[in-house]
Structure 1
């Protein structure tokens, strides 16, 4: 079978090309799949997509007309796919059910420590041979409180690192994770985390109940100097409320690897274009805001796991198997 892989990052491509066995061929394109790029997928029974693909009803219908029967997405998230319509069309849809949580947890800590110790500002200064310490005063994380919002695999890995720093742990989730309680975590109401934590890290999935989980009311209650990190989903934070909180000066630092309106911006070179997203442009103006383009997962270890799961999804489709990665099973 020949597979079309779209939205492939340059560092990802050799891993994809090596992973597929001889019985399959893969064509890798940097272009992201959407209604505008549908002609590229014509004739491919299997299409592998990135998380920023637009797989709404019109795009899915176009894929089916072009002969596609399998979509295997190289991510755990799938809110970009109209699964109900895919099922009506008889499409098989699969994803990556899980991968190592350490890459994202470690990256969340990278953002937190860089913000706390003013690393970006310090590095920029020293490049200009300015070695003053003015404005670079940080705080010890040791002895302070980490609030972990979402204590699944990634949140647990984040909490374990926080424990290594010697931090007090507060957690919030719909269910208690015994691994976290063994680390000394106290499960509390979400509002209490925002009142007491010195560092808050978001690790919950995006669903109607978590959309804009961090809004004006909770941001108004945070401790002065709190560091807020989001490596989960952009829409967990209300960006307008975040701007207001930053202007109020209560936030010590904000680290965002995701952004609510990142589609069409993240993963692209926009250096020679005017930034059309006014909110994102304004966020960039704050010296205590650090924004990266959805790269928390992007380690060779995780990408190899994602690629291996993608190969298995193709084989499972051909064999008619349903696995933990299956979102819409193959029609009988």
Structure 2
């Protein structure tokens, strides 16, 4: 019997995993996140299943090894919260692709909502306010969209944009065929809309900073559905104050770990930057939900459990993180 400690479990995840679970894996679902204070919850387990806001640093990994854990199974594509250099004898796997359609479609949903202000129109009509003042958008057709990162999700987003008749320019260190690539400064300077679809690395940390905001069109809309720290949040607030861009859609935030996925409606948020962003009329913030479709949840559960069984039963490291 394989025993797995499942941290930061949410009801929609538990439902998906139960559909794919089999008798050879016993899952211990826990609501708390994995960190130095909670790592002992993995005692007696062979596998730890973690998500994007768990803390998997050297201290946690050292303790996991002492507890006899053999595998860290990330149920997501990104793993910037996992200290690879501190893995030691532990192995790590991930879900490299669960539904690129889900994230790409959410990015477009953010762009469409910000442009045509449908969220504001919804609130108005609920109060029988049918005025159109302040709701003017622009045609997407013929506009230039800059896509940073042309992996699976980035290419799906490009396909959607082309369906709207938009001109696409892109940046990626590993170009794909059939896409018009430019350097980053050109992309930020020429794009009417910019969407981020790249992983968080040392090179991409604060990719969008004060200098990049300064060269953007003041009519531009920025979308980020990848990782929060791609955008310097303090610089973003300054840019919005200075009207250096028209709007921003965020599904991620660089200090999101203490808030996203949780109900904080009864608390005072002690993050001044987050409070400012939420209060701004041209900021649309969602809580890291771009992945949240039935298809994606099913794929995540199936792939994660297959990764675990392949390693524990056959010694195979499918989707290994190296």
Is the TM-score greater than 0.5?
yes
How far did residue 250 of structure 1 move?
Answer: 3.1
Distance 2:24 2:54 in 1: 26
Distance 1:122 1:225 in 2: 21
* 2:108 paired residue number: 109
3-state DSSP class of the match of 1:155? helix
1:213 to 178, 186, 207: 207
Distance 1:113 1:166 in 2: 14
Distance 2:218 2:52 in 1: 35
Structure 2 residue 292 is the aligned partner of structure 1 residue 298: yes
Distance 1:3 1:241 in 2: 41
3-state DSSP class of the match of 1:249? coil
| TM-score calculated relative to the size of structure 1 | 0.93
Distance 2:174 2:30 in 1: 41
Per-residue CA distance 1:219-274 (angstroms, 9 max, x = gap) = 11111221100001111111111111101123221000011111111111111111
Runs of 4+ residues deviating >3 angstroms: none
3-state DSSP class of the match of 1:11? helix
How far did residue 102 of structure 1 move?
Answer: 0.6
How far did residue 99 of structure 1 move?
Answer: 2.3
Distance 1:187 1:22 in 2: 49
Runs of 5+ unmatched residues, structure 2: none
* 2:250 paired residue number: 256
* 1:8 paired residue number: 9
How far did residue 164 of structure 1 move?
Answer: 0.4
CA contact (8 A) 2:140 2:165 kept: yes
Distance 1:168 1:36 in 2: 49
Distance 2:181 2:42 in 1: 47
Distance 1:3 1:218 in 2: 44
In terms of mean alpha carbon deviation, does 136-145 or 78-87 score higher?
78-87
How far did residue 140 of structure 1 move?
Answer: 0.6
CA contact (8 A) 1:93 1:326 kept: yes
* 1:157 paired residue number: 156
* 1:50 paired residue number: 51
How far did residue 124 of structure 1 move?
Answer: 1.0
1:229-308 pair list within 5 angstroms:
229-308=223-302
CA contact (8 A) 2:93 2:317 kept: no
Distance 1:108 1:148 in 2: 11
| TM-score calculated relative to the size of structure 2 | 0.96
How far did residue 294 of structure 1 move?
Answer: 0.7
3-state DSSP class of the match of 1:290? strand
Distance 2:114 2:22 in 1: 43
Give the alignment's Cα RMSD to 1 decimal. Answer: 1.3
3-state DSSP class of the match of 2:23? coil
Structure 2 residue 130 is the aligned partner of structure 1 residue 131: yes
1:147-226 pair list within 5 angstroms:
147-178=146-177, 181=178, 185-226=179-220
